Structure 1
C-alpha cells in the first residue's frame, strides 16, 4: 500500500471523528502527492438543513484568495504589463489614503507582502456590482498610515483590495472575470464560485458562529463578507481538490495538470522568496513572501496560507520539495484542533516535517515590568487596553469595533498576558485552543512599545 493510500484510509477514519470531537459542523480535506489526490468529507454543510458534506461541496477559502490575487498580478509581470517595484500610483493615479506622502511611495510589492503600512481591516460595503472594488478604493482617502511604507509587516486586507484594483485596471475587466479567465479556466476548475450567486449552483457550505458556547455553533447571519473585499478573500469558494489544483501548479513551475502554462517558473520562485520577517505569532509563518506565508521548520520549509470568513476557516500547506500539498475547509466550531491533527499527521508521514507545538504560557515567578507595555492600542476593528495590577500582572481587554462588534460581544472580557519570549506575551485565556501571542514591537520614543502586534500592528493611542 502506498503512503498516499494509507493517508486516504486515515482521513476516511479520522476526519469524521475529529469533526465530531471539536464541534465542527462540516469539513472537507484533500491531500496531493504529485498528480494523485485523495479526499474526505464529514459532517453537515448547514445545521439548519442537515445537508451532508461531500467531497464536491464548496467552502469559502477566505484569505487564501490573496495568493490567487498575487498569482493574477504575477501573470501581468510575466506579460510585461506590471512592475512590482513601481508605485501603486503608476497604475492607480486616483489612489489616496490619509498620508499623501505614503500614497506616492507605496509599491505593488509592498501591497503583496503586507508592508504598505496603512490601516488594513476596512470592510466597507460598496455594493455587489462589478465596480465594487473600484468604489472601495475610492473610500480609502482618509485611511490612517500606521508606519512608513516598507518599515514592517502588518496584515492588510485593504492593501489586497487595492492590488485587486490594480489588476482590474491593467486587464480592463473585473476581478471576478480575471479569476475566471486567467485561473479557473486554465486550471480546469469546475466547482469554483466568486459570489453567493454562483456558490448556490453547487453544494455550498454556510458558516457557523458560536456566540453561546453552551448552545454550540449556530448558522451565521451572513454568508460572506462584503463583495468589495473579494481580492482579499471575502467570498471565493471551491472544493479542496480545486485548491490543490492551484497548489500543484505552484509546485510544478507554473504549469497546470493538462500542460497549460499559467505562470512562469521565475514568477513562481519569486512568490516563494522571503520579503519580510513576521513576529512570532503561532499559526502564522515566520516570514512572508509575495502572497505566501513561509514556515521554516527544522525538517524543511513549508509554504501556505490560512483563511477565515464569517464562520468558515480554510487551511492550505505546500511542501514543494516533496510535491505534497494539504487542504482543509471547515464551517465553524474549533477548526484549529482539526487542522493541527490532520496536517500534523499528513506532513509527518509524507515529508517528515513536524508541526511545532502550540505555545503554552509559563508560570509567572516574579512581577512584570509593565512600563513598556501598558497603554491602549487601537485599529478600525478593535481596541486593546493593556493594564497592570498591584501584583505586577499584565491584563488585556479587547473591545471589538465595526463588523467584529456586530459578530462578537461588545467587550470580549479581560485576559491575563503572560510572558513567553522577549516582548511577546501569551493570552492566558485560549481562543479555539490557542494561547494567542501578542508581540509588543517598536518604540514610541519614550521607551514604550509603539505597536501591539497580533498579525496586525495596532498602534499605541497617544495620551
Structure 2
C-alpha cells in the first residue's frame, strides 16, 4: 500500500507540514490592491498621464486594469487599445514559428527560398536565414538600411522593396545587431507564405484563438487611433503630441489592451497548454542562439534583481512605451503600456517596480530629476534669447570697432556653430544611440527642452550674424 502502514492521524500531520513548507517556499502572489497601489503611486510621483497594466500567474489573471487618461481625455480601461511598439516582435516571431511548425517554411532555410522579392545589393543576403531575421543576426544594420531617414514605406511589400540597394555590415549569423527592418521582412514573409495580410493572419491564428478581440496590427504611425497616441513630459506636465511619421509593420505595429495581453502572457507562460503553438515552439521563441547573445526570437533572456530567470521585451515609440516580462520559475507575467515616449521609459520603469513587488525586492524610486533638468535647459534658452537680442542691438557698435578682416571673420564664425549643430543633431544623437538611425523630426521627442535651447541658440546666432554683417556693410559704405 502507498501508506506503508502509516496511521491516518500521522499522515494528516505529514500532509499539513508539507503544505506549510510549500507555502513558505512559494510566497503568495501580491494582492490586486498592492498592484493597484504600486501603479497609482507611480503615476502620482512621475506625472505619467496614462497606463494599462496586466499581471498574471500561471493561468490566473491577478490584475488587468487601465489608469489615467488618453490624450483626448478618455479614461483608460482594461479594454483600451494602446501601442505595444517593439513588443510586436514577439507576435511576429510566433507567426513565423507557427508556419515553420506546419511545414510551410524552414526556420534555418534562406529567406529568399520563400520570399523571392527579398533582394539586396549584397550577394551575402541570399544566405540570410529566417531564424537570423528573428534573432537579429542577419547582418542588416541601421547604417545600411535606414529605418527612419529613408522615405517611409506604406506597406510591408514596399518596406522589403526599399531595401534593394542595401548591403550587409557582417556575414549572416556572425553578430547581433538590433534592426527593425529584420522584422518587417519577417512579417512580409508571413504574408507571402500564408497568403494573408499580416493583420488578418494574426487575427486568425493568434489574436482570435486567444480571445484577444481588441488587438490588431497596423503599419504606419498615422494609423494609430486616438487611444494609442501619447505625450511628452515637460517640467513634469504632459503635452499631447502626434507620433512622428514612421513605418512599423511587423516590427512595432501591434495594438493591444490590458485584457488581451493577459491572454498573451498566459499562453507564453504555459507552453503546451495554448492553442497557438506547441511547447517546443514557445520554448524555441525564448531560447537565444550563441551568435545572438541574450536575444532569442522576439524576446530577450536575462534575470531579475533577485536572480530569477526572466524572458522579456521592451517597446518604444516616441510618444508611448510598452514592456512585457515572463518569470518562468514563479509563473508570473507582467505587461505594461504607457502613453509617454522613449525619452522617459515609463513602461520599463513601472514594470521594474511590479517585478520587484512580485519577487519581494525593494523597488527603485522613479527618476525625479527630469523636471529640474527641463527647468535648467529652458532657463538657458531664455538666457540665449536675451544674449542674442543684446548682440543684435549692439551690432552696429560692434561693426564700427572692427578693423582687421581676418579677425572679424573669426569672430563671426562661432555664431554659426549652434545652427550647424541644429542641422546635424540627429546624426549626433544616432551616434549616442550606438549607431541607430534617427530622423531630425524625432530629436525634439527625445530631448524637447534641449531642442528648445539648441534652436533658440541657432536662431539667435543667425540673427546676431545678420545684424553684424549689416553693420559691417554700413560701416564700409560710409
Do the two structures share a fold, i.e. TM-score over 0.5? yes
C-alpha offsets along residues 285-320 of structure 1, whole Å, 9 cap, x if unaligned? x60111111113562210011111230100100012
Match of 1:383 in 2: 427
2:45 corresponds to 1:41: no
Is the CA contact (8 Å cut-off) linking 1:207 and 1:223 kept in structure 2?
Answer: no
Match of 1:99 in 2: 122
Residue 329 of structure 2 aligns to a residue in which SS? helix
CA 1:76–1:399: 2 relative to 1, 3 Å = closer
C-alpha offsets along residues 190-210 of structure 1, whole Å, 9 cap, x if unaligned? 21132489975xx82321135
CA 1:383–1:145: 2 relative to 1, 3 Å = farther
Task: Tell me, in whole angstroms, the C-alpha distance in 2 between the residues paired with 1:294 and 1:402.
Answer: 25
**Residue of 251, 255, 276 corresponding to 2:269:** 251
Task: Tell me, in whole angstroms, the C-alpha distance in 1 between the residues paired with 2:323 and 2:196.
Answer: 29
Is the CA contact (8 Å cut-off) linking 1:381 and 1:402 kept in structure 2?
Answer: no
CA 1:253–1:6: 2 relative to 1, 3 Å = closer
**Residue of 97, 103, 111 corresponding to 1:74:** 97
- CA shift, 1:183, in A, is 0.5
2:272 corresponds to 1:265: no
Greater share of helix: 2
- CA shift, 1:215, in A, is 7.6
The equivalences for 1:297-446 within 5 A come to 297=304, 299-332=307-340, 336=345, 339-340=348-349, 342-351=350-359, 382-384=426-428, 404-409=439-444
Aligned-pair Cα RMSD in Å? 3.6
Is the CA contact (8 Å cut-off) linking 2:269 and 2:328 kept in structure 1?
Answer: yes
Match of 1:84 in 2: 107
CA 1:55–1:71: 2 relative to 1, 3 Å = same
Task: Tell me, in whole angstroms, the C-alpha distance in 1 between the residues paired with 2:288 and 2:363.
Answer: 20
Is the CA contact (8 Å cut-off) linking 1:382 and 1:399 kept in structure 2?
Answer: no
Give the TM-score, by structure 2 length.
0.67
Residue 140 of structure 1 aligns to a residue in which SS? coil
Match of 1:236 in 2: 254
Task: Tell me, in whole angstroms, the C-alpha distance in 1 between the residues paired with 2:315 and 2:271.
Answer: 24
Number of positions where the alignment pairs a residue of Structure 1 with one of Structure 2: 359
Is the CA contact (8 Å cut-off) linking 2:231 and 2:239 kept in structure 1?
Answer: yes
- CA shift, 1:3, in A, is 7.0
Greater share of strand: 1
Task: Tell me, in whole angstroms, the C-alpha distance in 1 between the residues paired with 2:446 and 2:286.
Answer: 39
2:226 corresponds to 1:219: no
Is the CA contact (8 Å cut-off) linking 1:225 and 1:310 kept in structure 2?
Answer: no
- CA shift, 1:384, in A, is 4.0
Is the CA contact (8 Å cut-off) linking 1:381 and 1:400 kept in structure 2?
Answer: no
Comparing 89-98 with 213-222, greater Cα deviation is found at: 213-222
2:149 corresponds to 1:126: no
- CA shift, 1:79, in A, is 0.5
- CA shift, 1:347, in A, is 2.8
C-alpha offsets along residues 353-401 of structure 1, whole Å, 9 cap, x if unaligned? 788999xxxxxxxxxxxxxxxxxxxxx9953499xxxxxxxxx878999
Give the TM-score, by structure 1 length.
0.69
Match of 1:144 in 2: 167
